[in-house]
Amino acid sequence: MSKPRTEAGRPVLVGTASIETSEYLAKLMREAGLVFNVLNAKQHQSEAEIIAQAGRPGAITIATNMAGRGTDIVLGATGRPSRPNCKTQAKSRLMR
């Protein structure tokens, strides 16, 4: 499925329409011996970490549509969650 792309060092994002589908796909990938992360409503505690890992070379991420709502997956990421610059965000809000 995603093996050729990940072996080439490309991160892969697999979008699914439901939590059930993401979990079924995770089961199939686990059986195939692939290493991956799942991003759906059940992983909300580790969401930032999963997103930080998603852009790493060779990473596979299975996600529901929550990954499309303002989620910034950085390609070539180091795997560390980024911390927003609170001063910049506050200034931006004040200037609106």
Integer Cα distance of 96 and 86 in angstroms: 16
Specify the pLDDT at position 69: 67
Q: Is 10 buried (19+), middle (13-18) or exposed (0-12) by CB count in 10 A?
A: middle
Calculate ∠ Cα 9-50-35, nearest 5°: 50
Give the domain CATH number at 78. 3.40.50.300
Domain that holds residue 23: 3-94
One digit per residue, the tens of pLDDT, for the chain of length 96 reads: 555 665 678 899 999 999 999 999 999 999 999 999 999 888 666 888 888 889 999 999 999 886 666 677 888 866 555 555 444 444 444 444
Q: How far apart are CA 61 and CA 37, in angstroms?
A: 5
Number of domains in the chain: 1
Return d(Cα 60, Cα 6) in angstroms, integer.
7
Place of tokens 């996600």: 63
Residue 13 DSSP symbol: E
